Amino acid sequence: MDIVQLVIIVISFILTTVIVILSVQVWYILKEIRFSVHKMNKMLDDAGRVTEVVGDSAEGLSGFMNGIKTGMSIISSLKKGEKHE
């Protein structure tokens, strides 16, 4: 066997080995990215639920405060009506 053929075979073997190792590493990186995207999606869903609950609570509190304000204005108008009689 000629030295050139031997060098080509050795280089081909080394390059094939490096490509296989890099492919496995890329596979693991893509697997981690997929896991991270799923985790991020779950976090965003949870954050959406939390903001919805907070918004509903704020809306309920606003309605409660408007009810108190209306009640106070009715009471004050009744008191003014009693003073005029």
Q: Is the pLDDT of residue 85 over 60?
A: no
Q: What is the pLDDT of residues 18-69, one digit of tens each?
A: 999 999 999 999 999 999 999 999 999 988 888 888 887 878 888 888 888 8
Instruction: Tell me the pTM.
Output: 0.54
3-state secondary structure 13-77: HHHHHHHHHHHHHHHHHHHHHHHHHHHHHHHHHHHHHHHHHHHHHHHHHHHHHHHHHHHHHHHHH
pLDDT at 66: 84
pLDDT at 53: 82
pLDDT at 82: 64
